[in-house]
Amino acid sequence: MKDTFDVAVVGAGIVGLAHAAAAHARGLRTVVIDRADRISGATVRNFGHIGTTMQVGEGGEYARRARELFLAYAPRAGFWLARRGTLMVATAEDEMQMLREIGEGRLLSEREVTDLAPVSGAIGGALLKDDMQVNPRDMGPRFATWLEGEGVSFRWRESAMIAEDGVLYTSRGTIRADNVVFCVGHDVDHVLPEVAERHGVERCALDMALAGGIGLEFPVLTGSSMLRYSAFRQTAAYADLLARFQRERPDMLDFDVNQMYTEAPGMGLFLGDSHRTEPTAMPFQDEHVFGLLAREARRLFGLSHVDVRERWQGVYAKAPEDFLRERVADGVWVSAVTTGIGMTTGLGLGESVIDEIYGSERT
């Protein structure tokens, strides 16, 4: 019986943990397997930003439910969760107009922005109060530890190979489960290549850095961030903002930079990030990117120097659609966030998939 479960989840990132938590909440015997010995993928390589306000459509539904689940899980699992919101900084009129059009949060004057964060060059901004923040290095491991303490089984350093007829075959043997959910992100092409090809899944590699802290109390996002999130892309001002970046900031577009910043207790300042999409993420990082990120940080915060302590590459799944959820065979499912909003939407997606498998009525 120790190898028999109701649900087996492959992958211990935020999306996998979300499915495991949703299954466990129904009283289902649940196991999570992961090929690594700890959480080491996109879940710990991001800003920790939970941008609920920035999502619309399917992503908006998952994000709003994820917010409720974060609020429920944080005190129980013991991870830090800040509910201060997101500070959107506008340094040009087209950015300010976009904030007016999105109609979310509270519009801020230049003085109000600079009272909240040590930025320079702002003409105004907005405070999106429903957004939240976690420490990305801490949240996932604490959540996994809590789930294990609650009775979810974890199998580390075990690779999944194939699932069929109620059996998951792994590098260490077999696991019997009524339902197997693959939550392996961009590595779906390693276990279910036909699914990856059908949905056009590739890998998005991004460059990030950690610098000395400057005392940010809010995640800070900028005009380049407005070009990336679905809620902003629906505004009339989007075309004007994109055209200006094409004229004045082609380097930001060449490296697909989202100029944003977060600061977690005891960690310092997260800054980034660039994006490059290809089937295989090559590990070589362009030093021009880090020069650009440091320059933009100095400009926005009026710094003479950015004390970079760490640099790393993040990788996440990227596809034409933002989410991949599919029943690929009897009792075999695949679920992934196929854009860079896994922390924002993952908990909502996981619950939705478990609801699809077992019915929307929860115990």
- 332 with 217, same domain: the answer is no
Report how far residue 363's alpha carbon sits from residue 358's, in angstroms, rounded to the nearest whole number: 11
Residue 347: the pLDDT is 98
pLDDT per position as a tens digit, 51-94: 999 999 999 999 999 999 999 999 999 999 999 999 999 999 99
What whole-number percentage of the chain has pLDDT above 90?
96
- 313 with 194, same domain: the answer is no
- 334 with 266, same domain: the answer is no
- 196 with 206, same domain: the answer is no
How far is C-alpha 106 from the geometric centre of its chain's CA atoms? 24
Closest by alpha carbon to 217, among 358, 84, 125, 104? 84
Report how far residue 316's alpha carbon sits from residue 185's, in angstroms, rounded to the nearest whole number: 7
Beta bridge mates, 164: 167
Check pLDDT > 70 for residue 47.
yes
Check pLDDT > 70 for residue 362.
no
Instruction: Note down the domain range covering 280.
Output: 86-129+202-317
Q: Which residue intervals of 84-133 are DSSP H helices?
A: 93-102, 110-116
- 291 with 257, same domain: the answer is yes
- Domain presence at residue 363: no
Q: How many domains does the chain have?
A: 2
Strands (E), 3-77: 4-10, 30-34, 49-50
pLDDT per position as a tens digit, 245-257: 999 999 999 999 9
Check pLDDT > 60 for residue 363.
no
Here the CATH number for the domain that contains residue 276 is 3.30.9.10
Beta bridge mates, 313: 207
Check pLDDT > 80 for residue 9.
yes
- 211 with 187, same domain: the answer is no
Q: What is the mean pLDDT of the chain?
A: 96
Report how far residue 340's alpha carbon sits from residue 343's, in angstroms, rounded to the nearest whole number: 8
pLDDT per position as a tens digit, 262-295: 999 999 999 999 999 999 999 999 999 999 999 9
Report how far residue 301's alpha carbon sits from residue 307's, in angstroms, rounded to the nearest whole number: 13
- Domain presence at residue 81: no
pLDDT per position as a tens digit, 205-216: 999 999 999 999
Q: Which two tokens stand for residue 56?
A: 């619309």
- 285 with 186, same domain: the answer is no
Q: What does pTM read for this prediction? A: 0.96
pLDDT per position as a tens digit, 304-339: 999 999 999 999 999 999 999 999 999 999 999 999
- 329 with 212, same domain: the answer is no
Nearby residues of 54 by Cβ (< 8 Å), 6 or more positions away: 86, 128, 131, 229, 230, 231, 232, 344
Phi, psi of 108 (to 5 degrees): -125, 145
Here the CATH number for the domain that contains residue 331 is 3.50.50.60
pLDDT per position as a tens digit, 132-166: 999 999 999 999 999 999 999 999 999 999 999 99
At 3, is the pLDDT very low, low, confident or very high (cuts 50, 70, 90)? confident
- Domain presence at residue 80: no
- Domain presence at residue 225: yes
Report how far residue 63's alpha carbon sits from residue 83's, in angstroms, rounded to the nearest whole number: 14
At 20, is the pLDDT very low, low, confident or very high (cuts 50, 70, 90)? very high
